[in-house]
Structure 1
């Protein structure tokens, strides 16, 4: 199966415009949520 330039461009747009921003929001939000929950369970750092 050979992909065309149009298909490659559409795939690039899908990844660059939708997938990467969505993944970055999910990763940063997940990290923040994890830190928030750990601080509720174990207290603030340095206490």
Structure 2
């Protein structure tokens, strides 16, 4: 997963404080999971249209 500049800032800020490193990890996993689900839905929709 490619991280944007904003995300990099957020990560470095997360290490210093704000929300901790572990919390960031959990959030990142959740975001990745969401993107994966979205991609699957789009893929399924495209396949359904093709039929």
Do the structures match in fold with TM over 0.5?
A: yes
Corresponding residue for 1:35?
43
User: Which one of the candidate residues 9, 24, 31 is aligned to 1:15?
Assistant: 24
Superposition CA RMSD, Å: 2.1
The unaligned stretches of length 5 or more in structure 1 are 1-6
Q: Look at both structures and tell me which one has the larger radius of gyration over its CA atoms.
A: 1
Equivalent residues, number: 36
User: Of the two structures, which has the highest relative contact order with CA contacts closer than 8 Å and spacing of 6 or more?
Assistant: 2
